[in-house]
Amino acid sequence: MEFEFWWLLAFPLFFALGWIAARVDIRQVVTESRALPNSYFRGLNFLLNEQPDKAIEAFLEVVKLEPETIDLHFALGGLFRRRGEFDRAIRMHEHLLEREYPQGHKGLAEEQRLRAMSELGQDYLKAGLLDRAEQVFGKLLETSQHGQARTHLLEIYVQEKDWQKAIDAARLLERDTSKPLNADIAHFYCELALLESAKGNSDAAAAQLQQALAANRQSVRANLMTGDLHAAAGRHEAAIAAWRLVETQSAGHMALVVDRVLGSYRQLGRVGEGVQWLRAFYARQPSHDVFNALYLAVSETEGAAAARQLAREELRRNPSLRTLDRLLEAEIVTADPEQRELLQVEKSLVASYSQRMMRYQCGSCGFKAKQFFWRCPACGRWDSFDPERGEGES
């Protein structure tokens, strides 16, 4: 490409246009900053210095002086809600929706009004005022806020344990957002099955579990509960078949199943076959909880010597307090009276500390519990608990 000398004349023009644009931007920024009260900048300063209480008071002063600062109303309301000051958040958003505007003022724009309604619904939800929250979000279903409204309605139905409404809301939310919720829906059906089972309606419970598996073929909980129904009715062959399907879905969840499987083999008078199956499974999927079940089964069917050998091999391969506890237990059985007393003291200390440390833990929020939960009591996430207990800090 040949160089054109007239380009040299264009360069100063470009620089001049850039300088003018920068001056316009700077003047606009200065003008806008002068229009804001000093309280606004004091509030920002308090926030930067991690003094939220003083920041809130400064921003409230701005709102009083400049009632048109809609975005600041939203920011304050959200800040109140995050701090747990739900009454103040509710008042802030109710004020936006209900306040009277001077004649000739258009009031809130439609999107601002819908946003204020959504924020108010979230205030009610966090404050535990579920009826009010449901009412607000119900009004938003036919608006541009419908996706968020359905999400919050689903949360409300889960908190209220209204599982059929939760199923319906989840299916509509799937349609609106294309986000798969089949795993959650399967849990809702399992909750309905629990209710039917508690009433003694085993057939209705089984039907709900079939719906759970239709929603999510990988529902470990549905197969586990199906096995429980079979076992309660004395159908132990069917129970074992249902429980063993869990391995094809999530081998880790077999830690919740192995004791059930052995129990049904025991009811059938085939404990040896159950132990043989458990040895094979443990070789494929070793874990502390599966080892514990295998140790007890071997001790019952093959004696203390075989159980001790099993514990020694496990302790070498995967050291843990639980394994040491089982080894000491086996050693006590074969020890002479003088050694037995010392071994019992050691076992008591190890068992006490190990039991305090053994916890199920939520992989989402870190909440720890002695029992397994399908839904975390702390953060509300489904399937967030590790099915294998860990020896973390108590």
Annotated binding site: 362, 365, 376, 379
Which residue bears the tokens 């509300």?
Answer: 380
CA proximity to 146, closest of 173, 116, 170: 173
Exposure pattern of 52-87 as b/e (b: 16+ CB <10 Å)?
eeebbebbbbbbeeeeebeebbbebbbbbbeeebbe
Q: Count the neighbouring beta carbons within 10 Å of the beta carbon of residue 265.
A: 21
* Helix (H) or strand (E) run with residue 219 in it: none
Euclidean distance between CA atoms 391 and 382, whole angstroms = 22
Q: Count the neighbouring beta carbons within 10 Å of the beta carbon of residue 139.
A: 14
Binding-site sequence positions for Fe cation: 362, 365, 376, 379
Helices (H), 83-219: 86-98, 110-126, 130-139, 146-160, 163-177, 182-198, 202-215
- Calculate the alpha carbon distances from 184 to 204, 242, 253, 311 in Å: 20, 21, 17, 39
Q: Are 278 and 261 in contact (CB under 8 A)?
A: yes
Euclidean distance between CA atoms 132 and 124, whole angstroms = 6
One-letter amino acid for residue 294 of the chain = L
DSSP assigned state of 3 = P
Length of the chain: 394
